[in-house]
Amino acid sequence: MSVRYRCPYGVFIYKTVAVLTEMIKLINIINMTNITIPATEAKTKFAELIDAARNEPVTVTRNSKPVAVVISPEDYERLSAVDDAYWGNKATQAKKAGFLGKKKTSDFISNTLNSKN
């Protein structure tokens, strides 16, 4: 379900709400992983791991700590689409804010690279 808001940035807000909604769904899918498997078992039962990942995300652990999540191609495509939309919206915002120009950009990069951390 999408929600439309009336405001000067209507299209952007509409897209942002849709993107955030999809991100929340994906985060919930990953956080609700019921299948957890140690890395050593994942290695020996890789075919079964792939089969299980078709239905729900599978968390792979090493020393009882999550190190990877295996997801279906469909979930990966949705996640990629959400990521692309997020960064596309960020680029649109940056473009509307304006560009620095060659000189200011060059100075910024030089200062950043030469600064002491």
Cβ pair 58, 70 in contact under 8 A: yes
Instruction: Give tens-digit pLDDT for 52-85.
Output: 999 888 889 999 998 998 999 998 898 888 888 8
Q: Model's pTM, two decimal places?
A: 0.54
- Average model confidence (pLDDT) for the chain? 78
Distances in Å between the Cα of 37 and the Cα atoms of 26, 30, 51, 71, 73 are 20, 14, 13, 14, 19
3-state secondary structure labels for all residues of 25-72: HHHHHHHCCCEEEEHHHHHHCHHHHHHHHCCCCEEEEECCEEEEEECC
Q: What is the DSSP letter of 8?
A: T
CA gap 4, 107 in Å, rounded: 41
The total number of residues shown for the chain amounts to 117
User: CATH 3.40.1620.10: which residues of the chain?
Assistant: 33-71
CB-CB contact of 45 with 38 (8 Å): no
**31 vs 22: CA distance, rounded Å:** 14
Domain covering 33-71: architecture: 3-Layer(aba) Sandwich (3.40)
